[in-house]
Structure 1
Amino acid sequence: MYYYRYENAEVSCCYKYLMFSYNIIFWLFGAALIAAGLWAWSEKGVLQDLSVLTRVGGFDPVWAVLAAGVVMFILGFAGCVGALRENLCLLKAFSTMVGLVFVVEVLVVVLVLVFQSQVLEWIQTFFMNNIRGYRDDIDLQNLIDSLQTSTWCCGAQGPDDWEHNQYFSCNSSNPSRERCGVPFSCCVIDPAEYVVNSQCGYDVRHKQKSDWPELIHSRGCIPAIEAWLPGNLYTVALVFTVISVLQMLGIYLARSLITDIYKVQINHIRNPVY
């Protein structure tokens, strides 16, 4: 029975084209992310002058987009071409890389759970650095505005964190019209307003703190995220589970194809065609 299986060995077309279909989506999506990242850099003049990157005070979100795009493009390429060409090298590289990504994801989750206080300190430092560079990069600015708007928060621990930004500082030597204010994304938006007032945060920190809740969100973004996580733990777990299942599916398809290819090769060795 063992030799009979080898004599009739062939590469499963089902697994082969499932593997191709599975990876073509990631390949194309990775290419789209790379194109979007390069376009964003082009708009900011980075491709014409690389020194622009050194002048960004905080984290440039384009780095994350490009990194994700490159990883997805490489994995998608290895999976697609490896499946179509029945290339053992590419299939092994794909399954190994996906396995490493999965291990890194699990390791990150474990480290976050074990070292929660240190992670929160790191997030605090990271957020403060990005507050300082808020006006230096439009993508960073949009990212912080989206976070503050979606979680109804302001600053890392509170609105006073914006004192660390040179444009919002209350320093008397600051000539900015935004002095002693906060970004518009900190404002409590009236649902009846269809147009966002971009000047709603002007001079807010000049006023009494007791008046802030009516004008701006007085809770910091880190406490907001801490409060959001417990209530959405199942959602986070579900997302992680879906991603893990997709990764395991990719590894399973790749290893199945590798096994089939090996069987075909052994069959050719035992039953050479002259």
Structure 2
Amino acid sequence: MARYRSYLRGLSICVTVLLMASGLVMIGVGFSSIDGNIPVAKLFEQLSSSDGLKLLQGFGPITVILSVLGVCAAALDLKTLLLVFSALIFVEFVALMVVASPLVQVQAQMDGAVDEVFLNVTPLYRTESYIQGELNKLQFSDSCCGLRSFEDWDNQLPVSCFCTPPAADQLLDSSCVMVESDLRTPPPLWVHSEPCGPILKSYLSFPIKLRIGIVSAVATLTMAAIALCLTLGLEQYWKKPPVETTVDDFNRVKYQPKPSLT
């Protein structure tokens, strides 16, 4: 029993330390500028997920503070403090689930909202020069053209959309397509057939998916910490009392709890 109890205490400390580490991760991600690294970020100002950042910024420090309390309670084997920690971390768990639920809704609604943004900024040659510049960078780096297709540029295709004409035996496997254009470059023109829209969606959804993943990890560790600390805190109710055996005059063995020293 003593060995099992020692193992349970060690496991409780480890889980609570992991919970503390996850709280530090929440703080780090919450105060980072992941959203600012999204290509063509100006397009997505209306889809900002600042609530997710506030969630991590708020619950991160709380998680760290409560985790320190839990580590101290488990290491010092303080029953009352273990129960207090379990109650406080359970309240935080419920609040975290309530506040984080809108993130899942944002993730589900994002594709439709992004498609609407794409529709509002086409044709691309009429949009702001800043957006055109950022999109050109993406088209150069990821070999794509336009948001939904190269036709988003109408007949004003930028140089970043052009690609090297494929060899005759590679036409079927090529990511380039031949188009007609009124540009000064003589036809035929070959442009990237892949749109940049799916790439932008993946960039945009990454911060939200990251925050949902962090919240899920914290929730899992919180549930484990609650279960372990409650087990230690309520040890007196589940621990079997020591017994002693006696033999009467008829050689019958009797088992009864040892008398308490107190």
* Structure 1 length-normalised TM: 0.47
* Structure 2 length-normalised TM: 0.48
More strand by share: 2
